[in-house]
Each structure stands twice: as structure tokens, then as C-alpha cells.
Structure 1
Amino acid sequence: MQRRTFLNTLVVATAASSLMLDAQSAEAGRAATPDALDPGRWSPLNAARLQVVLDEHGVKSGRYDPERRPYAVFDWDNTCIMNDCEEALLMYQINHMAYKLTPDEFVDVMWTDVPKGTFMKDYTTVDGKPVSMEDLAADVESDYRWLHANYKGLAGDKSLDEIHETDQFKDFRAKLYFMYDAICDTHPLEIGYKWIIYFYRNMTTAELQAMAEASNNHGIGDALRKVRYESPKTLSGKAGVVADTHFHGIRIHEEIRAVMHTLRANGIDVYVSTASLDDVVRVFAGNPNYGYGVPPENVIGMRLEMQDGKYASRYKAGWHFNYGPGKTVGIRGVLESKKGYGPLLVFGDSDGDAWMLRDFKDTAVGVIVNRMKKGEIGADSKLAAGQIGNPNARFLLQGRDEHTGLMIPDEKSIKYGKTERKLLA
């Protein structure tokens, strides 16, 4: 695609024209003010469209009503950041054996709401044999009991480095992560997304958030890389040898962080709606070290029951599943019902966000971080692709490079392991 030039930084073709130079200077001054969008790596058309929304609905607009402050809603994982902080935390918790669970409690959590039986055909052993939850759980249980008895952070005397060298740990990591993906893909996603947070059982909020911050920092400092974890042949157990891949590394999307500040400078409030545990995302969204500045009360996410000040392995009674259509339920219940109107802007990247991107009549623009996916978000992405160049576009596609975690000034994206920019799946 031919590179387009952002409207606010249009370079004059004829330097002799003082009129155009004056216009350029005026635009540069406007771009430098805190209430104007920093074009950064936004697609030029997207930057222009977002600036129009700010001009029409922000504090400088004649229609602005401080009693009806507009608001924007952002998905978190793979929208505000590159990759998924909850899944990164799952791997961090495994690698640091950061559990407060007895072996019996671990087994109880592992089986919470998970059906028995064989996983879908994509989840087989490395030699193609079916894998059942019963066999996989038996192997993971055996590993955890050994690790609990031997790791000094739990009940044993071995250091974490020593534990990492054991086949029991390598088996535990590969099979537990395989289990997570297999549960999510075999059964309704609600089962897997709740299951992952049940392992925080017996932690206080402070303990969990300290672990989440450590995981965030580790992910930001880690390389963006896909690592295949295969269980050792010496511990094939009941399930056999399995393997799964984790995408390591986290990156801050600076354009998203900056636009949040620009929205607030324009009198537009910022909220986050996430399918991760709200207390986990609050660490990333609100900690000043990361720069997003989202207050904890502005994060809507998954929630757990608390028991004696600690998390229980039970989903909060009466609280919706904050994914897909559930995000619309959350926005309507927490925000629209109180404010009387829907979000002005919505940002997302996946099927979990597809409904909230399109469900509210008050939404001027839905911004899709382009991961070239099919499904429900694929339908929204096709609408966005058809509106490229439309000055009143309802949906926007924003490209990024998955090798760097950086947005790119294009509607197209580059998938990890690929070199070509693509628009749609």
C-alpha cells in the first residue's frame, strides 16, 4: 500500500509558498497541544478520524456537556498491550511455582467445572494419540504433589533453579499449559477463562497484584518469542508426551496509552473492559510505572468470590462473564444504566470485543487492532476494511507488527513469523 501522509503533518511541496508554510506551522502547533492526538504510529486515516471525533465531542466542541461526559471503553489484552497479561501470568505462576494450594486444593481447582473426556482432535500427543482430561489431570496431579513436597517455596528444600531442572517440573509446565489451551478450545470458552483464575485461590489481593506486577515487568523485559514446551519422554505417564506453544513477551502500545491521556484532556473518560480478572488488569492499567492512568474503579473484568480476605476458586455469584456479548452486558449494567448513554469510542481486537464494538448506537468509532482474525471480529474487520478512506468511518482497522509489538502506520498488520503486511484473514 502506498504510504499516506497524516493530515496534520502535511509537508508542503513548494517551500516558497509562505501561505502553506504558515498553515504547516499552525498545524504543528496544534499537534503539540496535549488535547490533540499524537499521530505516532497510527494509520494516517485513523489518526484523522479519531481527531475528528475529539473535535466534535471533546471539551472544545460546542455540543460538549460536562454533565454528560463522553467515555471510551478499551479491551486490555492485545489491544492496550501486545499479548495477554493473564496468560503471561499463567506461565509466570507455573515457572515460579507461585501457588498457595495444597496438593488436594490444587486437584480441586484443576477439576473445577471442567468436563471429563477426550479433548478435541487438535489436542493429541506428539505421536497423534487422543488425550483425555482424566489422564492429563492424573499426570499433572502427580507432578504437583512431587513439586509441592520438594520445592522450598512450598513444603520442600529444593531451590527454584533446582526444581526447573527436574523432569517433574518440565512435565508439569508442558501439561498444565496444554490443559489450559485444550480446555479453552474443546469446551465453551467461559470454562477455560474462569478456570485460569481459580488458581489464585488462597491469595490476598495484595499478593496476587504483587505477582501480576512481577509478571508484567518480566514480560516487558522479555523477548517477543514463541516457545514450544514438550513434556519429557521419561514421564510420559497416562496421557503420553504432549507439547504446546506459548507466546512470550509483553509490549505497551504507546499509541493506546497516549490516546487515553488525550481523551481525558478532551473531557472524555476512559474505561477498560477485560476478559481477564479485573484485579490483575488493574495493576497494568493503573500502576504509574506503566503510564496508562486508568483508575481501578474504571476496570470491568472477571471477578472471583472472596473468603476471609482471600480469593476462592468460585466465580462471583451474579456477575456476568465479561467476554463477547458479556462485555456489552457489563457496559450496559455498570456504565450505560447509570450514565444514560453508551460509549463514544470502543477499542478491541478479538471475538471477545466484537459485540461491544458494534452494539451501542452512541458509538462514533470502533477501533480494531488488526490481528487478521476470522469469526465475529472478522465480520467487524471486513466492515472496517470496506470503510477505509471514508471520513465518517464507523469501524477502523489499525495495523501492528507482532515481531516488535509496535503499531505501524497502516491498516494492515504483520503476523509473527511472516513478513507480508495483510489486511484480512
Structure 2
Amino acid sequence: MKQKQKSLLIATLLAAALAAGGCATQDPRAGAPAAQSAVQPLAQGRWDAFNRARIDALIAAHGKGSPGYDARKPPYAVFDWDNTSIFLDIEEAVLVYQLQNLRFGATPQQLDTAIRLNIPHKAFNAPFNNAAGQPVDIDKVAPDIIESYTWLYRNYSGLKGSQSLEQVKASPHYQNFVAKMRYLYEAIGDSFDHAVAYPWVTYHFAGMTEAQVRSLTADTVAWQLGQPIEKVRWTSPAALPGRAGVVSVNWKNGLRLVPEMQDLYARMRAAGFDVWVCSASFVDVVKEISSNPAYGYNNPADRVLAMELERDAQGVIQPEFRRGYAQTQGKGKTQTIERFLVSRYGYGPVFVAGDSEGDQNMMQDFADTRAVLIVNRLRASDIGKLSGVAVQTYGKADAKYLLQGRDDNAGVFVASQAHTPLGAKEGKLLK
């Protein structure tokens, strides 16, 4: 039987089971009957039908109308943001928009400090050798970046100069700066631990305020939604080889909002769940895209846990990770949830959603979690093992891990567990 037909059959049987016995559902925590919630079920959208039925059952079992529901102690859900709540990564998109439009608040000296902060003095992994095949490290590429940024800083009217953006874009310094900055981001992420790579990209907000970061994010989203979904390649100019030489970088463009996740946020809130976001992107960036009504998620800005930086007395962002805070990736997500949510509610999240290794800890670490949604990106490591569990338990009424398929060619969910990578024609369940 084809996957989609099988999904529909399983969902139909599950729905029938839920409806059995009049208006009662089964509470998966205690096995006790629970009054069916009056909250509307999820829109069909492009959900895998079994996943949608399982989430509807969870909402009915724990939300308003269920015997155990207490508005003073509501259930809560925790969502990752990038590649879970949206298609692609908002932090990466903001970096590209920031580079293309030179939306920076840092002086050359401040930027030099930011791009070097905590980066090991050793060569990047071999895929990030320069065009001549020579290894590159931070001590080679940082001087090239700062040399070009200094020229832009002194000449661009949006910084300290008098030339228009179009005029400075005609200089090789512009392409050298943007290409090597974007290259450096990828090289760090590929070569070093997440604890080094994740906060690095946030330091480029140094010298800005929350309002400026949120405005930058809004401009980024407006731009990205009009971009095609495709791979983009930037190469630094041969006219300015510098110490690093000519380097190139590729990434995916075309961020998209996800209607199914917008609907899930809304349905959970309507059912009396508190909905939280826990993201490895910068907090002000996530606050804007998750709370701005224009983007359809409508989650309160104070329900965001994300990467934090120090700020001065005027609220100006500093290139320093906020002291006393955990990085919101990997084990840091669990620590952050324990600090700010478990201490507040007295229990863990009933539902968790994510897509990557950075989410696997919060998916497994809380005994109160009844369902975990994994957006399938064909990842390996422990998240791959959890995806395997989702495949093995597919169709079972007590399945905890739910694997949701996606087609990267269109930036949309698909009605199965399979993931179709960009450029591929067929989907796969597991890596």
C-alpha cells in the first residue's frame, strides 16, 4: 500500500477509535477517559495524516475539556524555530540580508573583535580550502574582511561615508566583504563545535538595538518570501585575494512560512496550551518573526527563549554572550527549559517539535513529554535514531515520535514521513 494511502487509513482508524464510546477520548498518561475537547482539529494541510491525528488526540487529551485540565497549571509545548516552525533558517537569512544591504552598527574594530571571538587558531576543514587548494584559518580571512569593511565603513553613506549602496557595490571591497563573511560563517559551522559556531553569527548585531534588529528581521522576511528556493553561490573577487585567497560559499535561499505550523500554534493556544519557542537564533530575531501578526504565528514575544547577548544601559547590543545564560542548542535547550519553564510550571513540556541535533536533548529529557514532532531533514546522529523510532512506531496509537515529511524543492510539508532534498525528485524516510 502506498505511503499516503496507508497514512489516510491509519488516521481514519485512529479517528474512529477516538470517537468510540460517544464523546470520550483516551488520556495517554493515565488510560482514563477524557471528555473530547471542543477545540477544532488541525486543518488537513499537507500533514502526514497519522501525525495530524496523533497531535489532535494529544490536544484533546490535555487541552480544555479534558478532565485533568487546569487553567492555572496548563500544558505547554516547546517548538524549535528554524527548519521546524519555518522552512530554512531565519538567522542565516538575516545575515545574508544584512551583508547585502550593509546593515551593521559595529565599527571596524568592533567587528574585528566579533568575528574572531572564541574561534580556534587552526585551519578550517578541507572543504573550505581556498580556490588554490590552500588551507584557510581565522588569522587569514579576518584581516581580509576587516580591510574591506573598513573601506565600506568609510565610504558607504549608511555608515560613515557619502556614497550610495549602489556606488559601493561597484567596488571589489563590497563583494570581498560579503563573500568572505558568508564563507566564514559556513567554515566555522563545519569546522568547530556548535558552542563556537552558534553564537558567532549573533555577534554581528553588535552596536544595534532590539528595535533595529527587529526591523532588520522584518525587512529580511519580506525579501526572502519573494526569493526563489535555490542554492546560491558567492565567490570573493580575484582582484582582492588578500591573505585568504579566493574563496567560495554555497547556501540555500528562499525562506518560507509553514501554514501547518501556524495552524498548530493557533490550535494549541485555543485549547489552553501555553506555546513557547526555544531557538538557537538570536532572541530579537525570533521575537519579530514569531510574534509579528503579519507572519501568521502570533505567538507572544515574551514566549521566546533564544540566544542572548549582553546590552549596555541604553540597550545597545554588545558582542558578548549574556553572562549566566546557557546557549539554546543541544543540552543548553534542556537547561534553558528547566530554568525558565519547569521552574515556572512545575513540570516539563507535553509536546516538543524540532528538526536537528540541536533539538534532540529537549526531545528526550522530560518525562512529561507525550509527543515529539520531528521535521524530517534526513539527519543522522541521535536525531536520526529518533527518526528511526518514528518510522518503526508509525501507525501505533501510542507513538511518541512523529516524523513529518518535507519537500525542499517547494519549501512545504508533504503528506508522508519522507523528505525530498533540494534537487531530488523522490523522498526518503531516513538518511
Equivalent of residue 407 in structure 1, options 394, 402, 413: 413
Instruction: Indicate conservation of the 8 Å contact 2:79/2:277, yes or no.
Output: yes
Match of 1:173 in 2: 178
Aligned residues: 407
By how many angstroms is 1:328 displaced? Answer: 0.7
1:7-406 aligned at under 5 Å gives the runs 35-307=40-312, 308-406=314-412
Give secondary structure in 2 for the equivalent of 1:76. coil
Separation in 2, partners of 1:97, 1:126: 26
Separation in 2, partners of 1:95, 1:225: 17
Identity of aligned residues (%): 36
Matched letter for residue 207 of structure 2? N
Task: Point out the more displaced range, 330-339 or 117-126.
Answer: 117-126
Give secondary structure in 1 for the equivalent of 2:72. helix
Give secondary structure in 1 for the equivalent of 2:373. strand
Separation in 1, partners of 2:167, 2:251: 23
Q: Deviations over 1:23-59 (max 9, x none)?
A: 9xx9xxxxxx753221211101111111111121111
Instruction: Indicate conservation of the 8 Å contact 2:156/2:165, yes or no.
Output: yes
Separation in 2, partners of 1:105, 1:10: 59
Task: Point out the more displaced range, 211-220 or 160-169.
Answer: 160-169
- Specify whether residues 96 and 389 from structure 1 end up closer, same or farther in structure 2 by C-alpha distance, changes over 3 A only: same
Q: Give the TM-score normalised by the residue count of structure 2.
A: 0.91
By how many angstroms is 1:265 displaced? Answer: 1.3
Matched letter for residue 82 of structure 1? F
Give secondary structure in 2 for the equivalent of 1:104. helix
Match of 2:30 in 1: none
Separation in 1, partners of 2:378, 2:397: 23
Matched letter for residue 122 of structure 1? P
Task: Point out the more displaced range, 152-161 or 86-95.
Answer: 152-161
Matched letter for residue 415 of structure 2? P
Separation in 2, partners of 1:368, 1:160: 42
- Specify whether residues 268 and 7 from structure 1 end up closer, same or farther in structure 2 by C-alpha distance, changes over 3 A only: farther
Instruction: Indicate conservation of the 8 Å contact 1:6/1:39, yes or no.
Output: no
Separation in 2, partners of 1:350, 1:100: 31
Give secondary structure in 1 for the equivalent of 2:360. helix
Match of 1:14 in 2: none
By how many angstroms is 1:65 displaced? Answer: 2.1
1:1-12 aligned at under 5 Å gives the runs 1-4=2-5, 6=8
Q: Which consecutive residues of structure 2, in runs of 5 or more, have no partner in the other structure?
A: 14-19, 24-37
Matched letter for residue 52 of structure 1? A
Give secondary structure in 2 for the equivalent of 1:235. coil
By how many angstroms is 1:9 displaced? Answer: 8.9
Instruction: Indicate conservation of the 8 Å contact 2:308/2:322, yes or no.
Output: yes
Q: Deviations over 1:79-133 (max 9, x none)?
A: 0000000011111111011111222222122222222221122210123211121
Matched letter for residue 351 of structure 1? E
Q: Deviations over 1:171-230 (max 9, x none)?
A: 111111111111122222122211111111111111111111111111122111111111
Instruction: Indicate conservation of the 8 Å contact 2:228/2:254, yes or no.
Output: yes
Matched letter for residue 391 of structure 2? A
Instruction: Indicate conservation of the 8 Å contact 1:42/1:398, yes or no.
Output: yes
Matched letter for residue 141 of structure 1? I
Matched letter for residue 66 of structure 1? A
Task: Point out the more displaced range, 58-67 or 43-52.
Answer: 58-67
Instruction: Indicate conservation of the 8 Å contact 1:6/1:48, yes or no.
Output: no
Matched letter for residue 270 of structure 2? A
Separation in 1, partners of 2:166, 2:394: 52
Q: Deviations over 1:145-196 (max 9, x none)?
A: 1111221111222211222232111111111111111112222212221111
Matched letter for residue 332 of structure 2? G
Matched letter for residue 334 of structure 1? F
Give secondary structure in 2 for the equivalent of 1:3. helix
Matched letter for residue 366 of structure 1? V
Instruction: Indicate conservation of the 8 Å contact 2:350/2:369, yes or no.
Output: yes
Equivalent of residue 424 in structure 1, options 419, 427, 430: 430
By how many angstroms is 1:7 displaced? Answer: 6.4
Separation in 1, partners of 2:66, 2:149: 60
Instruction: Indicate conservation of the 8 Å contact 1:7/1:48, yes or no.
Output: no
By how many angstroms is 1:10 displaced? Answer: 5.9
Instruction: Indicate conservation of the 8 Å contact 2:10/2:395, yes or no.
Output: no
Separation in 2, partners of 1:166, 1:392: 61
Separation in 1, partners of 2:44, 2:364: 25
Give secondary structure in 2 for the equivalent of 1:221. coil
Q: Deviations over 1:281-324 (max 9, x none)?
A: 00000001011111111100010111132001111100011101
Separation in 2, partners of 1:346, 1:338: 17
Instruction: Indicate conservation of the 8 Å contact 1:35/1:263, yes or no.
Output: no
- Specify whether residues 117 and 2 from structure 1 end up closer, same or farther in structure 2 by C-alpha distance, changes over 3 A only: closer
Task: Point out the more displaced range, 161-170 or 276-285.
Answer: 161-170
By how many angstroms is 1:66 displaced? Answer: 2.1
Matched letter for residue 138 of structure 2? M
Give secondary structure in 1 for the equivalent of 2:160. coil
